[in-house]
Structures are given as structure tokens and as C-alpha cells.
Amino acid sequence: MKPFARAADLPSDAASFRQALFLATGGGITIAGVLLVASLYRLDGFSVLEVLQMALFIPLFGQIAFGFTIAFWGFVVLLAGGDRYQIMRTLPEPPDSAPPGATAILLPIFNEDPDRTFRGLENMFRSLEATGAGRAFDFFILSDTNQPDRWIEEEAAWVDLCERLNAFGRVFYRKRRVSIHGKSGNVADFCRRWGRRYRYAIILDADSVMAGETLVRLARVMDANPGVGIVQTSPQIVRGNSVLQRFLQFATRSVGPIFAAGSNFWHLGGGNYWGHNAILRLQPFMEHCVLPELPGRSAADRHILSHDTVEAALMKQAGYQVWFAYLEGGSYEEGPPNLSESLKRDRRWCQGNLQHFWFLFAPGTQFANRIHIFFGLMAYLTAPMLVVFIALGALDHHQKEVFAALSAQPADPTWTGGIPSSMLLLGLTLTLLFLPKFLGAGLLLRRAREFGGTTRVVAGMLLETLLSILLAPILLYFYTRFVVLTALGLRVGWKTQNRTESAIPFADALKTYAGPTFVGLAATTFAAWWVPSLLAYLSPILAGLVLAIPLAMLTSSERVGNWFRRTGLLLIPEEVSTPEVLQNLDPPSPEGAAPSGVRHFQGLARLATDPRTNAIHIAMLRRSKSRGRLKESYLASLRQRLLQDGPDALPRRETMALLWDPEAVGLLHREVWCSPNHSLHPFWRSALRRHDFS
């Protein structure tokens, strides 16, 4: 067999064979499940309700069957010591001495905490320098921030960073004036301006951190494989403080690897792109992956929200392979701090994934990409299907009970048959749902020491399983809602993710989770009254719904999360021994920070009073093309309001208008310094008392 030294060496039938095997396994399990259900319904002839349930059962069961199939093949691959077709195996040995191709590392940001973002960037820069190949990489901070304070803080943080690292000319900052099309628009803006200067781009998220060695290896693997368009790494969730973050980071380590290996097993060079922690070949990306418009009646309908899957499909369609470097370490991200933030992200993903429907039937879309798109759609569509399926099942069961009572038959004929099909089906379903967790745990136990020891791994697995059972019904409720809202045409915009504040206060929890709680209580009452025999089976779902409020609060708790950490529960290797690139990412304690009033508008205070910050900001702006009298008097009135009434007096848009004008910013600085105390708002007097905000 030809060794896999280049991606081009991949046998043409390897992917087809594996996809056939994958579909046969998943399809076979689905057919087995469907036959079991059919044998249950066949006992007394198919009713209308049963036909409807059957129609829903097929995609629902198929979803878990294929999920299991991915995990199963992943387990087999990992148990056998890894896949022979792994893109990182094509790296030349010994490594090339020549520098890798010019690579731009793109960090699109949108109102993120500059302190955390720039600390991550600094670590990556230092880590990259340590490899000796740093000169091949430039960093671009691509800001779409629309909060004035954050904008100024970003600029100051950028200059501080460049001065500290002597990195002017290596780390660049770009602020878009018109932020259209979110992250994909921001990356496209980079491509238009500087894309031709670089061979590759590594796309990050604001919370992404990648080790220098990994960045270099990614560029080198692209050098070695000109036919590869995208290599996606498998970012590990780290730095979890809240219960939810710790749950997610542990889950990605326990079951994550087998799902990742299983994914690579079936798609090989037809992989997906997740939008971050991945390397792109820029030339074909700019040529073939410009996002098309969707069919739709309004401009908003036509814009693609979730760009990554589409870009992977377009790259593949253009003849380039997309690989998943699932075993590559040194790629990290952070998890959402609480359930509400996680759901906000899910709502965006749901809307984006449902839009991908158009590509499912588009001629030219490759088979592997159709499967990715289909799985992405089903991840959300199965939620309302499951709700309807449960409701139909309860109704059907109630009718049968009533009929049995009237005709003096046994309550449930399926339990008295020769073969307990329902038990078999229940057993099969539970196996498909939980076996991947145990397979993952089995592999994890081989590295138990890195996770705090065998006892802690087992305890962590049990805790993770319990939490996933309890959280699943809440997700079911919200996913159903998201699908319905999306179907009704209600859209969500690109919002900043809260990556820091964790705890959900009771009032917020009550407001957000009253819905699932009410549904849970109503469903429990209904089930207890109409179908009491089903109550035990429904209890895992009902418990999650009824306990939604305390669960949301508990999973957002950093105190409990930190207690887990202290006791060694849900521990990950990066907590046992923290890699250098993840160190010092937390800002120092707020001691010596500006007074609270100033702290709130710290960026604005620095802009107006600190000559350095003010000069940097002005130097970054373009001189206004036209300065009519009207504009000047408008900007003068804004400055006056700002100085006399404080920063609260101006709405964000007006402050941004002022900040985009270099002359106005210069005059603001001069006026703050030259105004007597009595004509300044207390905010500015307080800001002036602190001449040093750094």
C-alpha cells in the first residue's frame, strides 16, 4: 500500500469506501431500530398516530445512530493507534529548514475584553518567536468593535503590545468603519486589502490561543500539500471556571477525541471548517469562497450567517481538500461561561445552519459537504421533531390505555408479546446514547494520571453524564423555540459573546428559564393525570425542564466550578500542568484601577486626557475629506455636551461619530485640558486627577 506522504496520495476510492462503510453502519442501526418499532406497532395494526410517530422516529433514531457510528469508528481508529490518513502525517521529516509560507494570523474582534484578547495574542507571539520561524507570520487584529471605550482600549492595548514585543510591522490593527457581514465580512475586508501578500491565513476567535509550534506546523503542512485548501484543528476548551465550562472542557476531552477521529474517518479530505483555529490557503479562498447570496426576498434573507460550512463546501467544490487535524495539540478556545451565553450562541448557529438547507440540494456540492450540512440541519430540526414525537407517543399511549380498560385487555400489549421489542428498543437507544461516553472514558482511563487519577476520571464521567442528561431537555426546549422563531423569520444579529461574567442572577434565571420550567410542570401534571404509566419514562426529560432555573444558576456558578477544580473533578491536563501559551491570560486584580465612574468610561477618559492615547487614536484615523460648517458645528455641539454633561450624555452612535473625526478628537483633548474646573463635568475632573490611566 502506498504510504500517505502527501494529501494527493490519498487513494481515490478511500473516501468512497469509508463513506459507504459509515452509511452502512449508521443506516443498518437505523433500520434495526425502525424494524423494532414496526414490530411494536404491527401487533394491533398501524394507526394514524403510529404512522406519524414512525415518520418522526426514522430521522430521530437516525440522528443518534449516526452519532454513535461516528463515535464507534473513532474509537476503533484510536484503539488501532490512529488513522493512517491523517493530514499532519504528511509533514516532512526531518522538518524543513526553510521558513514556512507567509502567513497572516487573523484575530477578528467585536467588543471583546481587550486585556484577555491581547494577552492571548502576546502569548502566541512569544511562543511563535520561540520556534525561530516567527518572521513568516504577521498578526492582524481586525476590529469591528462599536463600543467607543472598547475601541480606544484596543488601540492602546495594541500600541502597548507592539512596544513591549518590539512588534511594530509584525502586529497590525485594523478598525473597520462600516461593519458589514460580521466576522466573514471582516475577514473578507482583510483579503481585499492584504490577502495577496500572504499565502495562508490562520483564523482565530477572540478567545483562541494557539501554540507557536502548532502555527508553524499548520503552515508547513500547507506548504507540503498544495492541493489542501483548509486544515481545521480541534480546539480544546480550557480555562473553565464555571460548572458549565468545566463540564464542556471535560466532555471535549472524554468523548471529543472519538467523535473527532470518527469524523476524520468518514470524510478524510472532505472535512468541515469551524470558522476559527484553522488555516486557509488564501488564493483559492479569495477566488472561490466569496460567499454567494442565498435565494431570498430581502437583503437580510440573502446574507449567509454561518459562513464556515459554506466556505468549506466551496473550497471542496473548487477541487481543494479540507482536512481535520484532530490530533494536533496546542489549539485552544474557551467555553461559554453559562447556559444563557451558550444558548445565545446556539440561536445564531441554529439560524445559520438552517440557512445551509439551500446548499443541501445545490448542484456541485460534494457528497461529504452535503452530509455535513445535513447533520448541521438535523442538530436543530430534531428538537421540534422530538417534541412532537413525545406528544404523539403520549397521546397514542393514552388512547391505548383507554381502549384496553374498556375492552378488558392488558394495558400494554407490547409487554406481553413473545419478544419484548420495547425493551430491546429502549436498550438499543440507551446504548447508542451512552456507549460513546463509556468508549471515550475507556480511552481516557489510559491517560488517567493527566486527568487527576482513575477515581477522578470515573467520578468526572458520571458527573458529566448526569449533567448532560439534565441539560438535554432544556436544550430541547430552546432548540425547538429557535427553530420555530427562525421559521417565523425572526432573526438575530452578531452579538458580542460574554466570555467572562459567569453567574446568572436569580431574576435573570427566572426570566429566561420560566418557559421550560412552566412547560415541565405542565407536562408533569398532564402526564400524571393522563398517562401515569409513562411518568417514569418521561421523568428524565421532565426533571431537566422543571429544574431549569436552579440548573442554569448552578451551572453558571464559579464557586462550585472552582470547588470541582479543587477536588479534582472534571479536571483536564492543562489544569494539571498549564502550557506556557495559556499562562498569564487573566488580568491582574483590579487594585489601583481608576475610580468606578472613570472605570466605566475608561477608554473615553484616556482618549481625552492622556496625550499618548489621544495621539495614537488620531494617527490611526484618516483625515476627513470634507469639513462643512454644518459638520463642524455638529461635532462642536457633541464635544460641548460631552464636556459639560459627561460621557453618559451622548448616545453610543454620537460618541462614535465624534471618535471617527481626527480634528474633533484633537480638539476634545485640548478642551479638556484647557477648561477651568468649574466648566467641566465631574467625570472629567476625576479623569484629570488621574493623569496616568495605564
Contact residues for another protein (CB under 8 A)? 138, 140, 159, 162-163, 168-169, 172-174, 188, 191-197, 286, 288, 290-295, 297, 357-359, 361-364, 609-612, 614-616, 618-620, 623, 662-663, 666-667, 670, 673-677, 688, 691-692
**Closer residue to another protein (CB): 79 or 102:** 102
Task: Find out whether 267 and 374 touch, Cβ atoms under 8 Å.
Answer: no
C-alpha cell belonging to residue 360: 443541501
Cβ neighbours for 625, distance < 8 A, ≥ 6 positions apart: none
**Closer residue to another protein (CB): 232 or 609:** 609
CA–CA gap between residue 277 and residue 215 (Å, rounded): 9
Taking the complex as a whole, how short is the minimal distance between the CB of residue 655 and another protein, in angstroms? 19
Taking the complex as a whole, how short is the minimal distance between the CB of residue 291 and another protein, in angstroms? 7
CA–CA gap between residue 71 and residue 253 (Å, rounded): 13
**Closer residue to another protein (CB): 449 or 627:** 627
Using alpha carbons, select from 12, 14, 25, 13 the residue that is nearest to residue 84: 14
Taking the complex as a whole, how short is the minimal distance between the CB of residue 358 and another protein, in angstroms? 5
Taking the complex as a whole, how short is the minimal distance between the CB of residue 685 and another protein, in angstroms? 11
CA–CA gap between residue 491 and residue 425 (Å, rounded): 39
**Closer residue to another protein (CB): 91 or 360:** 360
CA 149-154-157 angle, to 5 degrees, is 125
**Closer residue to another protein (CB): 591 or 692:** 692
C-alpha cell belonging to residue 443: 480511552
**Closer residue to another protein (CB): 182 or 520:** 182
Taking the complex as a whole, how short is the minimal distance between the CB of residue 109 and another protein, in angstroms? 15
Type of residue at 165: L
**Closer residue to another protein (CB): 28 or 364:** 364
Taking the complex as a whole, how short is the minimal distance between the CB of residue 178 and another protein, in angstroms? 16
Question: What residue spans of 531-651 are helical by DSSP H?
Answer: 535-546, 548-555, 558-567, 573-576, 596-600, 602-609, 611-620, 629-645
CA 156-112-642 angle, to 5 degrees, is 60
3-state DSSP call for residue 27? helix
3-state DSSP call for residue 552? helix
Phi and psi at residue 299, in whole multiples of 5°?
-60, -40
Residue whose C-alpha cell is 459567569: 502
CA–CA gap between residue 676 and residue 681 (Å, rounded): 10
**Closer residue to another protein (CB): 293 or 501:** 293
Q: What is the DSSP letter of 294?
A: P
Q: What is the DSSP letter of 192?
A: H
**Closer residue to another protein (CB): 431 or 675:** 675
Residue whose C-alpha cell is 405542565: 522
C-alpha cell belonging to residue 584: 498569564
Taking the complex as a whole, how short is the minimal distance between the CB of residue 271 and another protein, in angstroms? 21
CA–CA gap between residue 311 and residue 275 (Å, rounded): 9
End-to-end CA distance of the chain: 62
For 109, the enclosing helix (H) or strand (E) is: strand 103-109
**Closer residue to another protein (CB): 525 or 633:** 633
**Closer residue to another protein (CB): 578 or 675:** 675
Taking the complex as a whole, how short is the minimal distance between the CB of residue 131 and another protein, in angstroms? 22
CA–CA gap between residue 301 and residue 491 (Å, rounded): 9
Taking the complex as a whole, how short is the minimal distance between the CB of residue 435 and another protein, in angstroms? 37
Taking the complex as a whole, how short is the minimal distance between the CB of residue 411 and another protein, in angstroms? 36
CA–CA gap between residue 655 and residue 659 (Å, rounded): 6
C-alpha cell belonging to residue 526: 398532564
Taking the complex as a whole, how short is the minimal distance between the CB of residue 687 and another protein, in angstroms? 11
**Closer residue to another protein (CB): 652 or 670:** 670
**Closer residue to another protein (CB): 64 or 104:** 104
CA–CA gap between residue 605 and residue 603 (Å, rounded): 5
Taking the complex as a whole, how short is the minimal distance between the CB of residue 623 and another protein, in angstroms? 6
What would the 3-class secondary structure string for 229-271 be? Answer: EEEEECCEEECCCCHHHHHHHHHHHHCHHHHHHHHHHHHCCEC
Task: Find out whether 88 and 234 touch, Cβ atoms under 8 Å.
Answer: no
Q: Please, what is the angle between helix 548-555 and helix 243-254, to 10°?
A: 80
Taking the complex as a whole, how short is the minimal distance between the CB of residue 203 and another protein, in angstroms? 16
Cβ neighbours for 497, distance < 8 A, ≥ 6 positions apart: 112, 206, 336, 341, 344, 345
**Closer residue to another protein (CB): 415 or 673:** 673
Taking the complex as a whole, how short is the minimal distance between the CB of residue 290 and another protein, in angstroms? 5
For 150, the enclosing helix (H) or strand (E) is: helix 148-165
Task: Find out whether 602 and 641 touch, Cβ atoms under 8 Å.
Answer: no
Taking the complex as a whole, how short is the minimal distance between the CB of residue 49 and another protein, in angstroms? 24
**Closer residue to another protein (CB): 14 or 291:** 291
Task: Find out whether 584 and 123 touch, Cβ atoms under 8 Å.
Answer: yes
CA 486-491-494 angle, to 5 degrees, is 130
**Closer residue to another protein (CB): 361 or 566:** 361
Taking the complex as a whole, how short is the minimal distance between the CB of residue 676 and another protein, in angstroms? 4
